Structure 1
Amino acid sequence: MAPWLYQAPVLVSLAVWVYGPLVFTGVLSLLEWDLTSPDRSFVGLDNYRRLAEEPEFPHALTRTGLYVLAMLPFATVVPMALAVMLWKRPGRASDTYRSLLFLPVVLAPVATALAWRFILDPLGGVVNLTLGGLGLPEQDWLGDPDTALWAISLITAGKFVALNMLLYGAALASLDGRALDAARVDGATEWEITRHLVVPQLTGTTVLMSFLCVVFAGQWTFTNIAVLTQGGPDNSTDNAYLRLYTYAFVFFDAGTGAAAAVAIVVLLTVLFAVSAPLRRRHARP
């Protein structure tokens, strides 16, 4: 019993805070409830049928996929490049740059979103004032359906860059320096060393960062969407998590909101299972 007693706090925490709410959400997705009435009626799969028949949720899932594609380079290529550059120039300046780049993770998401509202303001925002000073056309970045989704993506991308840069830095710290030194002795340039030795050894980390982008892109954009656009204009910035919130806490349809949550969990589980062979193939020993 001793091993189980040592693991008991973690197992109880998982049961209470993770699997318990997940099971409750699955049960709630089979009910009709307005969050206030004591009456809950069993409706079976009607909530899931409603999700499939209404165009809003499939549209929101598609938008979530666009967010993932827009932020994938900022979750992999950009933080990898920054981490490699800082790794090659160790010292106090490198630590300072790393701390400054990590600020988007530390700052409160709502405060960051409000700051971006003023920066992207179509009348007196810093971005449009700069464009006007350069003689370039100004844009309503958050009010135009053609630019709103990409603006939200770029705002959220800073958090991916900051966090993943540290994860890439941790992976770089564990590399075998003897192979790099041998390549330098053989006359290889720093670019050749980075391309043929460093980057291939970061493949496993890149696969992991890509999967984390799929998992968290929709969640991390939720705050920026809720503060800046509320899903508009014309639902161009809507995503699955905002749609879930709208069903449950705007329309007070807890059953449909729970069904949307279960659908998201199932979709992510399928993606996790499909990507498992790829992640195992590139896992570091």
Structure 2
Amino acid sequence: MTTLEAGASTLDARGHANRRVPAAAVRARLTPWAYQAPVLISLLVFVYGPLVFTMVLSLLDWDLVSPDRTFVGVDNYRRLVEEPEFPHALARTGLYVLALLPFATIVPMALAIMLWKRPGRASDNYRSLLFLPVVLAPVATALSWRFVLDPLGGVANHVFGAVGLPEQDWLGDPDTAIWAISLITSSRFVALNILLYGAALAALDRRAFDAARIDGATEWEITRHLVVPQLVNTTVLLSFLCVVFAGQWTFTNVAVLTQGGPDASTDNIYYRLYTYAFTFFDAGTGAAAAVLIVLILTALFGLSTLLRRRRALG
């Protein structure tokens, strides 16, 4: 057999060429997947696996203890929609989002710009102090606020009494409880988002702002017309993250301080999910609530993506 014959592709019974893929080409194709395998396996095990299990569990009637699991179909979802507790908790979660949105965008943006305009060691120290609420344990923070807002001997009422204002039952009054929980949670949003705004500001070119100062622009004009417009994308992202995390980050404070009361005024969808699953031992309804939360957040993410694409296209 000549060299030319040996290098030619062989033909099968039907006359089709049988070309062998070189081993190097196979390795080139598989190498990226090998690098991505740990991430993909982690997603399957810790994200999509539990999500699929939750979806299956939402179709069952199970008390977390009994080995018997009865298939009930969409009855758990129907119960969530028909009973007033979950829609009420959903509405309260929306109220949390509205209350926390300024603390997730406007307040940290203003503080980050102030620190950015005064670079140096003092600015770094202030930024570290402002980041403390993220480092502290949420349960410990909530317990500290319980003593501050205590209606009998709390620091807040002592301050109010000293300046002649009426004392309040901050966590026991339906009119003030949800705002108190929102204020307690706001420190985490401010602390984290200052760093995110600071990272966005660090990418800006200071020479453009120096040129504007030479041309006679005031600091307010520079901030309003040059700095803030370049933070729009960061603001949109942090607004969406506020929608995602408002219910989660208020959950600890609700569970420790009010347990959803008084009169369900501080309830939210995450505490309602916890109540279904671990107070009433109704795992199916709790799983159905979790699935609905995922669907709602997915819909909001899709809507925000669509709006951003339309805005980019003009």
Structure 2 CA distance, aligned partners of 1:135 and 1:73?
29
Q: Which whole-Å CA distance do the structure 1 matches of 2:285 and 2:139 have between them? A: 27
Deviations 1:162-214 (A, max 9, x none): 00010000000001223212211211111100000000000000000000000
Residue 241 (str. 1) matches residue 270 (str. 2): yes
Q: Which residue of 1 aligns with 2:217?
A: 188
- The separation in 1 between residues aligned to 2:121 and 2:210, in whole angstroms, is 23
1:49 aligns with 2:82: no
- Map 1:185-264 onto structure 2 (within 5 A): 185-264=214-293
What count of residue pairs does the alignment treat as equivalent? 283
Quick one: which amino acid aligns to residue 275 of structure 2?
Answer: T
Map of 1:31 onto structure 2: 60
2:193 aligned residue: 164
Contact between 1:29 and 1:259, CA under 8 Å: does it hold in 2? yes
TM-superposed deviation, 1:277:
2.9
Provide the TM-score with structure 2 as the length reference.
0.89
The answer as to whether partners of 1:68 and 1:217 remain within 8 angstroms in 2 is: yes
Query: What's 1:87 paired with?
Result: 116
Greater RCO (CA < 8 Å, at least 6 residues apart): 1
In structure 1, how many angstroms separate the alpha carbons of the residues matched to 2:137 and 2:287?
Answer: 27
Aligned-partner residue type, residue 103 of structure 1: L
Change beyond 3 A, Cα 1:185–1:277: farther
CA RMSD of aligned residues (A): 1.0
1:144 to 147, 151, 173: 173
Partner of 1:235, secondary structure, is coil
Point out where structure 2 has 5 or more consecutive residues left out of the alignment. Answer: 1-29
Gaps of 5+ in 1: none
Given that residues 203 and 282 in structure 1 are in contact (C-alpha distance below 8 angstroms), is that contact kept between their aligned partners in structure 2? no
- The corresponding residue for 1:96 is 125
Q: Secondary structure at the match of 2:38?
A: helix
Rounded Cα–Cα distance in structure 2 between residues aligned with 1:9 and 1:274? 31
Asked which structure has the greater CA Rg, the reply is: 2
8 A Cα contact 1:207 1:279, kept in partner? no
CA contact (8 A) 1:208 1:279 kept: no
Cα distance in 1 for partners of 2:200, 2:193 equals 10
Q: Deviations over 1:80-121 (max 9, x none)?
A: 000000000011111111011001000000000000000000
3-state DSSP class of the match of 1:38? coil
In 2, the alpha carbon distance for the partners of 1:179 and 1:45 equals 59
Conserved? CA contact 1:31–1:255, under 8 Å:
yes
CA deviation profile, 1:150-169 (whole Å, cap 9, x unmatched):
00000000000000010000
Using a 3 Å threshold, how does the CA distance of structure 1 residues 281 and 91 change in structure 2: closer, same or farther?
farther
Residues in 2 aligned to 1:207 and 1:234: alpha-carbon distance in whole angstroms:
34
Cα displacement (A) at 1:282: 7.0
The residue type paired with residue 64 of structure 1 is: T
Question: What is the CA–CA distance in structure 2 between the aligned matches of 1:132 and 1:18, rounded to whole Å?
Answer: 50
Report runs of 4+ in structure 1 exceeding 6 Å deviation: none
- Matched letter for residue 306 of structure 2: P
Alpha-carbon separation, structure 1, partners of 2:50 and 2:72: 20
Find out whether 1:10 has 2:33 as its counterpart.
Answer: no
Classify the secondary structure of the residue corresponding to 2:175.
coil
CA positional deviation for 1:280 = 4.5
Task: Check conservation: 1:120, 1:126, Cα contact below 8 A.
Answer: yes
How far apart in 1 are the matches of 2:123 and 2:205? 21
| 8 A Cα contact 1:204 1:282, kept in partner | no
**How far apart are the structure 2 equivalents of 1:176 and 1:282?**
25
Deviations 1:32-58 (A, max 9, x none): 100011111110000000001100000
Which residue does the alignment assign to 1:121? Answer: 150
Counterpart residue identity of residue 281, structure 2: F
Structure 1 equivalent of residue 19 of structure 2: none
